[in-house]
Every structure is written in C-alpha cells, then in structure tokens.
Amino acid sequence: MNFLSYLITSYFIGNILTAHLLIKLLRKENIINQGSGNPGARNIGRLYGKKAFIITFLGDALKGCLVVLIGRYFLFSEFEILACLTVAVIGHIKPIFYRLKGGKGISTFIGGIITFEPLLALVIIIGFLLFYSLSKSFTISGLAAFCFIPFAVSYLYHSTELLWVLVVLIVILIFAHSDNLLKKINHT
C-alpha cells in the first residue's frame, strides 16, 4: 500500500458513521432527523440510552484505531499515520456518503490517538478532570484536554512535525465544535 491509497482509505473509513448504521439497522430511521441531528455518540446516547452511546462510541473509536493499525502494519512513519488519522477524522466530520453531514470526530480521534500512543489516555483523563472542575462542561473539558496532546507527543517522540500535525487535528476538532462552544460561551 502506498501513502496515497492509505490516505484515501483513511477518509473512507472515517465515512462509516456508527450511529447512522445503528439507527438504520434497529429503527429504520435517520439519526440526522433526530435530537441534535448529529450522528455521534452523545446524540444517540441522549435519544436511545447508554448502550447505544457505548456502541456508537466504540464503533467510531474503532475507525481511528483501525487507521493507526493499518499504518503500523504497512510500516508508515508516525507522521504519515497521524496525517491519515487526521483525514479519517475529517471523513467522520464531512463524510461524502452522507452529504458532508457527519459527527464531531471525537470518538474517532480518541480511538486513533490512544492506539497511536496508549500513554495519551492519561493525558486526556488528567486534562479532562482538571478542566471539568473549572468549567463543568464535557465539551470544553474534553477539547481543552486534547490541547495537551500535541505537546505530550512532541515530548515523547522528540518531533516538531508530529506536534504540528496534531495541532492541525486539534484545531479541526475545535472548529467542528464551534457552534457548541459559542452556545456555551453565550450561555444558550
């Protein structure tokens, strides 16, 4: 497999929306027309409960995990793997199969980044707990915790190019949540 085919494969792996498949399979409905309209774990959890949340979270996290494992199997560099994880997250946020209306990319990112470096689970947990005590918001706490990841990876791998690809990835995630963040800032 060459890098271009890995990149394209990663995007299409990102296009597989677990929430959409789950609701189509169980209810013959479209998740886009329900709740917040977001085909992600939080929306499906609000609508159908904890089991649906867990299945959706794990299914979407598996996509990120799969992209990293493919990269490792074919011996791509860490930079190429993180670039393809970024493309998979973009594929989840803007899936061509669903008219560019996807989820927010969090589960796919978490699955991929923890597969890439399991120690980052601690960075996410500690960062989340620290910021949640201040903000009382899952969205703000999670995104703030993710901001530590580029620096942790840069420290662990001694690589500025990994830092920059992760900065781009985190900015994409923050941008995907911009509507939610503006509502929280404006208290609406």
pLDDT digits over 101-124, tens only?
999 999 999 999 999 999 999 999
pLDDT recorded at residue 187: 66
Q: Report percent pLDDT > 90 for the chain.
A: 74
Contacts (Cβ under 8 Å, ≥6 apart) of 17: 31, 39, 60, 92, 95, 98, 102, 103
CA-nearest of 32, 16, 28, 184 to 107 is 16
Q: What pTM, to 2 d.p., does this model score?
A: 0.92
Report CA 186 to chain centroid distance, whole Å. 25
pLDDT recorded at residue 182: 74
Q: Alpha helix (H) ranges present in the chain?
A: 3-14, 18-27, 41-48, 50-73, 78-93, 106-116, 120-135, 138-146, 149-157, 160-176, 178-185
pLDDT recorded at residue 183: 75
Distance separating alpha carbons of residues 83 and 63, to the nearest angstrom: 14
Residue 95 scores a pLDDT above 60: yes
pLDDT recorded at residue 131: 93
Confidence grade of residue 188 (pLDDT, cut at 50, 70, 90): low
pLDDT tens for each residue of 6-62: 999 999 999 999 999 988 888 777 787 788 888 889 899 988 999 999 999 999 999
Q: Are 116 and 82 in contact (CB under 8 A)?
A: yes
Tokens 């497999």 belong to 1
Structural domain for 18, as ranges: 3-185
- Overall domain count for the chain: 1
Residue 183 or 174, more confident:
174
Distance separating alpha carbons of residues 51 and 27, to the nearest angstrom: 15
pLDDT recorded at residue 1: 93
Q: Are 111 and 62 in contact (CB under 8 A)?
A: yes
Residue 97 scores a pLDDT above 60: yes
Q: State the CB neighbour count (10 A cutoff) for residue 66.
A: 19
